[in-house]
């Protein structure tokens, strides 16, 4: 993967001055949306068993682009998990817009008050891609995050979801989509490598297939319908992303005792 990173740098370095100024302009032009309200909830299907879920991450897990968390990733994920695993679900979100994986480990994990959890769901990668985090630093921070979660929840399964589709963010220029999208894919490779070194961790090695998602759209819809502000997911994306993530866990034979 060192060779892959070197090739990535060779292709990216000439574009970095361009995307730096493009990024500054986009920050001024985009009106970023607030995080969703009500970061905890439940799904009751009258099952005799109940699962407790915690969602940890950055702005996409903060529900940016949605009004309430029940309509964002956590709500859709919990509803789908409840259906596929036949369990009641209690869920809560710990997420913050703008946080990279290092800040999540340092500032969010210490705030978790729960002592019991049946599944930890982690959504990261966008901010580290935007910040062009070095893959080795990213890898180290991933392990620190895992260690922090394991300290609080030694036996709880951890599910890392697919990294966001930066390569098609409508708000970004073609140059930014290319450079940041490729960096995101590189970080995904390192995330897969690091999670494979730990037990009881799930991470899908296939990135989100936008072309397949496009087939879910109605005739009048376009790729723009996947995004709320050109960067963050729309409620449609939260639903598709969550269902795909739960199905991956089901196919991976995740078992709840």
- DSSP state, residue 234: P
The pTM of the full predicted model, rounded to 2 decimals, is 0.95
- DSSP state, residue 33: P
Q: Residues in the chain with pLDDT < 70?
A: 1-2, 6
pLDDT tens figures, 65-91: 999 999 999 999 999 999 999 999 999
Question: CB atoms < 10 A from the CB of 224, how many?
Answer: 10
Report which secondary-structure segment, H or E, holds 210. Answer: helix 210-214
Would you state the pLDDT for residue 152? Answer: 97
- Tell the residue number behind the tokens 């905890």, with chain if given: 40
The domain locations on the chain are 2-247
Would you state the pLDDT for residue 29? Answer: 73
Superfamily of segment(s) 2-247:
SGNH hydrolase (3.40.50.1110)
Q: How far apart are the first and last CA of the chain?
A: 37
Report which secondary-structure segment, H or E, holds 150. Answer: helix 135-152
Phi, psi of 81 (to 5 degrees): -65, -40
- Give strand pairing partners of 42: 90
Q: How far is CA 43 from CA 22, 83, 120, in A?
A: 43, 9, 17
What's the chain's Rg over C-alpha atoms?
Answer: 18
Burial degree of 195 (CB within 10 A; 0-12, 13-18, 19+): buried
- Tokens representing 10 are 């060779």
- Tokens representing 24 are 């500054």
Would you state the pLDDT for residue 34? Answer: 93
Would you state the pLDDT for residue 16? Answer: 78
| Distance of alpha carbon 76 from alpha carbon 31, whole angstroms | 25
- DSSP state, residue 13: G
Q: Please give the torsion angle defined by the CA atoms of residues 32, 13, 133 and 100, in that order, rounded to the nearest 10 degrees.
A: 0
Share in percent of the chain as helix, strand, coil (round to 5): 50, 15, 35
Report which secondary-structure segment, H or E, holds 174. Answer: helix 174-195
> CB within 8 A of 174, min separation 6: which ones?
none
């Amino acid at each position: 993967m060192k060779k892959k990173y070197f090739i990535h740098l060779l292709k990216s370095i000439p574009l970095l001055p361009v995307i730096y100024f493009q990024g500054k302009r986009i920050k001024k032009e985009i009106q970023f949306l607030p995080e969703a309200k009500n970061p905890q909830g439940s799904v009751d299907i009258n099952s005799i068993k109940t699962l407790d879920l915690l969602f940890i991450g950055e702005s996409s897990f903060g529900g940016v682009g949605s009004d309430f968390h029940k309509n964002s990733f956590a709500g859709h994920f919990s509803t789908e998990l409840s259906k596929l695993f036949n369990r009641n679900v209690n869920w809560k979100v710990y997420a913050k817009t703008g946080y990279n994986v290092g800040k999540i480990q340092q500032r969010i994990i210490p705030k978790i008050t729960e002592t019991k959890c049946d599944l930890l769901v982690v959504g990261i990668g966008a901010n580290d891609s935007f910040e062009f985090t070095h893959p080795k630093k990213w890898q180290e921070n991933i392990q620190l995050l895992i260690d922090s979660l394991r300290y609080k929840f030694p036996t709880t399964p951890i599910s890392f979801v697919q990294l966001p589709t930066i390569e098609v963010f409508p708000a970004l220029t073609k140059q930014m989509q290319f450079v940041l999208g490729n960096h995101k894919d590189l970080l995904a490779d390192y995330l897969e490598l690091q999670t494979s070194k730990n037990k009881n961790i799930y991470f899908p090695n296939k990135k989100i297939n936008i072309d397949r998602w496009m087939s879910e759209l109605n005739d009048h819809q376009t790729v723009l319908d996947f995004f709320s502000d050109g960067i963050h997911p729309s409620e449609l994306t939260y639903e598709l992303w969550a269902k795909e993530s739960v199905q991956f866990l089901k196919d991976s034979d995740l078992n709840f005792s």
